[in-house]
C-alpha cells in the first residue's frame, strides 16, 4: 500500500518515526506539508528524499502513484484534507478529532461512502487490549447487562509540558472525545441524554474550562458518571482513565493506555462476581496496538473493501462528534439535559 503522509509537525514526525515503521506492508512514497520550514525540517530529521516532498497533496498525487493518505494536520485543516482526498479518489486515515462539527462529519462520511473511499479516524484508544477485552465482556454478557459506569480521568497539564492553553474546549474536545468514543465502543450503546458541567479553577493557566463532570444516560439504560481534569492534584490515571462498569452480576474494572502508543503497561482488567473476590483477567496479546493498530485496520478495510469490526470509520465517528457537541452544549447551558439524537 503506497501512502502519502500529510502533516509533518511534531505529531506528524512522531507518526513517521514511531508508528508507520511498525506496518511493513505500507510504504510512504510522498511527504506533504504546506509550510516550507516544517517540510525542510522534516527532510533533515527523517532523511527524506527532496524529490518525494511536496507542498500540496495534489502535487504529490501528480508526481507519484498513491493508494491512501495519512492526515496528521491541525484540526483546521482536516476538512480540506478530507475533501481533497475525496476529489482525488484516495483513501484517508485522519487524526482525531475528525472535523469541527457532526454536520461536516456526516457530509464527508456520506460522500466517502458514495465514492467507495475508505475514510477512518485515528481513535487510537480503541486499539488496546483492556478496552477490547472489556468490550467483549459486555457484548457476551459475561456479568449481565451494564447498569452504571464510573469513569475518571486525571492529569496535571502544567507538569506534562502541555502548551495548548488557549484552545476553546481543552477538556471536552481535546481529551474527553477519546473517552466518549470508548463509552460508545465498550458499552455497545449510544448516548441518549447528557448533562455536563465544566469549570476553570482559580489560578489556572487555561483560558477555557479544563475540568468537568457529566451524567450520561445511554440508550441501553446504563448511566455513566464521568469526571475529567487537566488540573488534577490526584495521582495520574492512565490516559484512557479508570473504569468501573457495574453489571447485573458483578463489576468490571479496567485501565488502559500509559501514553504515546508505546507501552501496554497501564492495561489491566479485573472482574468481581457477586459475592466473590476480585479476579484479575489475563489480557490477550496485541501487536500492533494504538495508532499502529488504527493504521492496520485502515489498510485491512481498503483490502477488504469494507469496514472491519470495531474500526473508527467516518460514519461511526459522526456519532462520537455529536456526543461531544451535546456535552459542550450542555456545559454552555449550565448542565441542562441535552438529548443527543
Is 318 a residue whose pLDDT tops 80? yes
* Global confidence as pTM: 0.96
Topology of the domain comprising 2-123+290-313: Rossmann fold (3.40.50)
Judged against a pLDDT cut of 80, whether residue 305 lies above it is answered with: no
For the segment 274-289, what is each residue's pLDDT rounded down to a tens digit? 999 999 999 988 999 9
Q: Cα separation of 248 and 260, whole Å?
A: 35
DSSP class per residue in 86-153: HHHT-EEEEESS--S-HHHHHHHHHHHHHHT--EEEE-GGGSSHHHHHHHHHHHHTBTBSEEEEEEEE
> Which pLDDT tens digit goes with each residue over 118-167?
999 999 999 999 999 999 999 999 999 999 999 999 999 999 989 899 99
Question: 259 pLDDT band (50/70/90 cuts)?
Answer: confident
Domain boundary assignment for the chain: 2-123+290-313, 126-283+322-339
pLDDT at 308: 81
Cell numbers at 276, concatenated? 466473590
- Pair 115, 86: CB distance under 8 Å: yes
The dihedrals phi and psi of 119, each to the nearest 5 degrees, come to -125, 110
pLDDT tens digits, residue range 191-242? Answer: 999 999 999 999 999 999 999 999 999 999 999 999 999 999 999 999 999 9
Distance between CA atoms of 297 and 310, rounded to whole angstroms?
9
Q: 126-283+322-339: CATH homologous superfamily?
A: Dihydrodipicolinate Reductase; domain 2 (3.30.360.10)
Amino acid at each position: 500500500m503506497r501512502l502519502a503522509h500529510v502533516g509533518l509537525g511534531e505529531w506528524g514526525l512522531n507518526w513517521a518515526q514511531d508508528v508507520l515503521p511498525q506496518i511493513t506492508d505500507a510504504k510512504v512514497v510522498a511527504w506533504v506539508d504546506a509550510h516550507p520550514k516544517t517540510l525542510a525540517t522534516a527532510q533533515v530529521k527523517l532523511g527524506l528524499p527532496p524529490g518525494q516532498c511536496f507542498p500540496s497533496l495534489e502535487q504529490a498525487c501528480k508526481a507519484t502513484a498513491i493508494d491512501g493518505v495519512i492526515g496528521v494536520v491541525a484540526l483546521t485543516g482536516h476538512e480540506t484534507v478530507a475533501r481533497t482526498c475525496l476529489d482525488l479518489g484516495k483513501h484517508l486515515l485522519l487524526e482525531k478529532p475528525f472535523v469541527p462539527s457532526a454536520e461536516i462529519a456526516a457530509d464527508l462520511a456520506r460522500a466517502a461512502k458514495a465514492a467507495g473511499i475508505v475514510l477512518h479516524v485515528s481513535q487510537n484508544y480503541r486499539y488496546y487490549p483492556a478496552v477490547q477485552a472489556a468490550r467483549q465482556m459486555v457484548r457476551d454478557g459475561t456479568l449481565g447487562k451494564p447498569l452504571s459506569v464510573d469513569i475518571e480521568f486525571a492529569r496535571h497539564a502544567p507538569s506534562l509540558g502541555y502548551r495548548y492553553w488557549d484552545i476553546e474546549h481543552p477538556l471536552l474536545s481535546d481529551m474527553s472525545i477519546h473517552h466518549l468514543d470508548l463509552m460508545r465502543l465498550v458499552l455497545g450503546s449510544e448516548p441518549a441524554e447528557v448533562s455536563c458541567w465544566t469549570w476553570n479553577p482559580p489560578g489556572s493557566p487555561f483560558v477555557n474550562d479544563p475540568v468537568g463532570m457529566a451524567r450520561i444516560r445511554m440508550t441501553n439504560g446504563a448511566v455513566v458518571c464521568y469526571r475529567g481534569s487537566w488540573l488534577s492534584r490526584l495521582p495520574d490515571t492512565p490516559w484512557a482513565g479508570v473504569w468501573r462498569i457495574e453489571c447485573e452480576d458483578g463489576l468490571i474494572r479496567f485501565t488502559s493506555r500509559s501514553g504515546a502508543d508505546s507501552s501496554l503497561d497501564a492495561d489491566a482488567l479485573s472482574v468481581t462476581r457477586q459475592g466473590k473476590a476480585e479476579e484479575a483477567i489475563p489480557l490477550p496479546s496485541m501487536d500492533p496496538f494504538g495508532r499502529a493498530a488504527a493504521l492496520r485496520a485502515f489498510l485491512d478495510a481498503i483490502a477488504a473493501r469494507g469496514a472491519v469490526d470495531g474500526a473508527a470509520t467516518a460514519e461511526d465517528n459522526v456519532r462520537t462528534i455529536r456526543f461531544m457537541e451535546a456535552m459542550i452544549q450542555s456545559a454552555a447551558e449550565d448542565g441542562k439535559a441535552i438529548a443527543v439524537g
